[in-house]
């Protein structure tokens, strides 16, 4: 995302250089050994613990916390990673405040849950720092599976398939593997290149090859993959970005929030990133929050996030909303954009207030803007895909699609929440279903 001549308010280096390091430091610093023991001691180790049910990957949370409390964090990490091979990243980005920690019994007792996310990070970081991979491959089956997409779902699927003895080739359109973990989350949630290091660590299982720059529909086709491999798992996410559909949307200064976040994530010098003085973000999900907060951290003077529904209906969690407000982001709800104004470049965005039914009230207002970020959702695109359910691939069971031999999971598939942890669970479960299907077929042929 480069500033153009028609965007005079969009400049780089708005802050002193030291401020960038401070602003983009780790949002939740890691626990040290003593802090981890103290945090683990608060767990009641519940029987039929509600936190397990609240975890999309069904990690045995009381067990891994007890393992930390007894001084065996490596064992705790294996407990976590056996269910969620991307447990390190999920510990950083998972909305624990609305999942496992919200279900924690401590919330009832004292409104302060056990710090499950930070304890998970402590355990997985401890093991990964040793360069140890706790799992081994089963004997080779001779089966080859193609995975499309090296994001959380694709990586989780590939790892579980490899553990079961299959060879896996991952095709990914980008230059680096990792998907949203590498390109799509706020930089302060995953610092020091953790996403890339986690992928390198995951690949230590062996049997997985990643072909980057390989896009479905451009470089490979689903029909060819289905013919050349014993099974295919689609996990390419949502590559298209929804448009606002407004007059003036072509003006300079209007960008997709996902591109802004990706540019920031890949930048080696945050001071060189251009940011506006008056920034408007349109949307109410995690991408909108991440874009708005990071715009402020880059030095934007005024950042306003506008969402068409009420604050209670925002997809972003209450914690994330409060984080944005604490960083100086102004949040306006029940308002939808109706026009982009400017002469060549955006200068103002016009909005109209809506009621709870999203009907316009007739009351309008304008916000000055030299930079506008769209964060109103993404869409699936591609030819020859399996049947769709709405705008995503229809699935049954553990990711089975309408095409024989083709499974799907993650953001491109219908049914689940658009969360990293959910994508991991879907990739893992699809891998087990693929394995069972291939082994059943092999048994019939024998």
CATH number of the domain where residue 87 is located: 1.10.1060.10
Question: Coil, strand or helix: which one is 316?
Answer: coil
Residue 435 has pLDDT above 50, yes or no: yes
Residue 82 lies in a domain: yes
Residue 53 shares a structural domain with residue 43: yes
Give how far Cα 416 sits from Cα of 7, 317, 367, Å. 39, 17, 35
pLDDT digits (tens, 9 = 90+) for 260-273: 999 999 999 999 99
Give 8's pLDDT tier (boundaries 50, 70, 90).
Answer: low
Residue 369 shares a structural domain with residue 246: yes
pLDDT digits (tens, 9 = 90+) for 130-180: 998 999 999 999 999 999 999 999 999 999 999 999 999 999 999 999 999
Show the domain range for 86: 33-128
Residue 260 shares a structural domain with residue 359: yes
Residue 155 shares a structural domain with residue 234: yes
Tokens at residue 432, please?
Answer: 């087990």
- How many domains does the chain divide into? 3
Using the structure block, give the residue that is written with the tokens 């007059």.
247
Full DSSP string of 320-388? HHHHHHHTT-EEE-SEEEEEEE-SSB--EEEEEEE-TTS-EEEEEEEEE-SEEEE-S-EE---SS---E
> How far, in Å, CA of 324 to CA of 113, rounded?
22
Give how far Cα 347 sits from Cα of 77, 303, 344, 366, 368, Å. 51, 14, 9, 10, 6
Share in percent of the chain as helix, strand, coil (round to 5): 40, 20, 40
Q: If you average pLDDT over residues 85-99, what whole number do you get? A: 96
Residue 123 shares a structural domain with residue 59: yes
What is the reported pLDDT for 446? 74
Residue 348 shares a structural domain with residue 441: no
pLDDT above 90 covers what percent of the chain?
Answer: 90
How far is the first Cα of the chain from the last one, in angstroms, to the nearest whole number?
56
Residue 2 has pLDDT above 50, yes or no: no
pLDDT above 70 covers what percent of the chain?
Answer: 98
pLDDT digits (tens, 9 = 90+) for 9-18: 899 999 999 9
Give 6's pLDDT tier (boundaries 50, 70, 90).
Answer: very low
Residue 168 shares a structural domain with residue 53: no
Size (the chain), residues:
446
Classify residue 130 as exposed, middle or buried by CB count within 10 Å of its CB (0-12, 13-18, 19+): exposed
Q: If you average pLDDT over residues 46-70, what whole number do you get? A: 97
pLDDT digits (tens, 9 = 90+) for 378-405: 999 888 999 999 999 999 999 999 999 9
What is the reported pLDDT for 82? 98
Q: If you average pLDDT over residues 311-321, what whole number do you get? A: 94
Residue 1 has pLDDT above 70, yes or no: no
End-of-domain residue from the set 97, 128, 159: 128
């Amino acid at each position: 995302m480069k500033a153009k001549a028609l965007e005079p308010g969009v400049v780089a280096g708005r802050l002193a250089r030291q401020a960038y390091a401070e602003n983009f430091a780790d949002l939740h610093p890691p626990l040290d050994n003593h802090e981890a023991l103290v945090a683990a001691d608060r767990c009641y180790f519940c029987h039929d613990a509600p936190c397990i049910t609240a975890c999309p990957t069904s990690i045995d949370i009381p067990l891994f916390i007890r393992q930390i409390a007894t001084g065996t964090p490596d064992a705790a990490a294996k407990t976590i990673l056996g269910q969620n091979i991307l447990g390190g990243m999920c510990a950083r980005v998972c909305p624990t405040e609305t999942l496992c920690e919200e279900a924690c019994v401590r919330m009832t007792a004292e409104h302060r849950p056990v710090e499950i996310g930070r304890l998970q990070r402590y355990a997985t970081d401890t093991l990964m720092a040793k360069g140890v991979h706790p799992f081994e491959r089963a004997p080779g089956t001779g089966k080859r599976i193609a995975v499309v997409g090296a994001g959380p779902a694709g990586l989780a699927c590939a790892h579980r398939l490899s553990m079961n003895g299959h060879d896996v080739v991952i095709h990914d359109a980008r230059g680096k593997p990792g998907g949203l973990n590498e390109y799509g989350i706020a930089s302060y949630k995953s610092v020091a290149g953790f996403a890339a290091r986690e992928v390198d660590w995951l690949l230590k299982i062996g049997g997985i090859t990643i072909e980057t720059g390989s896009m479905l529909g451009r470089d490979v086709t689903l029909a060819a993959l289905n013919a050349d491999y014993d099974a295919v798992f689609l996990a390419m996410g949502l590559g298209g970005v929804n448009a606002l559909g407004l007059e003036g949307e072509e003006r300079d200064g209007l960008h997709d929030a996902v591109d802004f976040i990706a540019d920031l994530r890949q930048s080696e010098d945050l001071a060189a990133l251009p940011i506006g003085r008056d920034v408007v973000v349109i949307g109410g999900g995690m991408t909108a929050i991440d874009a708005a907060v990071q715009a402020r951290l880059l030095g934007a003077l005024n950042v306003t996030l506008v969402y068409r529904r009420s604050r209670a209906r925002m997809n972003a969690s209450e914690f994330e909303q409060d984080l944005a407000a604490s960083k100086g982001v102004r949040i306006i709800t029940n308002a939808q954009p109706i026009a982009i104004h400017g002469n060549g470049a955006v200068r103002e965005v016009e909005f109209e207030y809506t009621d709870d039914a999203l009907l316009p009230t007739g009351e309008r207002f304008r916000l000055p803007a030299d930079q506008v970020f769209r964060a109103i959702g993404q869409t699936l695109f591609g030819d020859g895909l399996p049947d769709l359910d709405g705008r995503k691939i229809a699935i049954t069971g553990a990711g089975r699609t309408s095409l024989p031999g083709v499974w799907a999971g993650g953001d491109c598939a219908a049914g689940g929440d658009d969360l990293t942890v959910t994508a991991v669970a879907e990739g893992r479960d699809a891998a087990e279903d693929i394995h069972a299907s291939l082994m059943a077929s092999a048994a019939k042929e024998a």
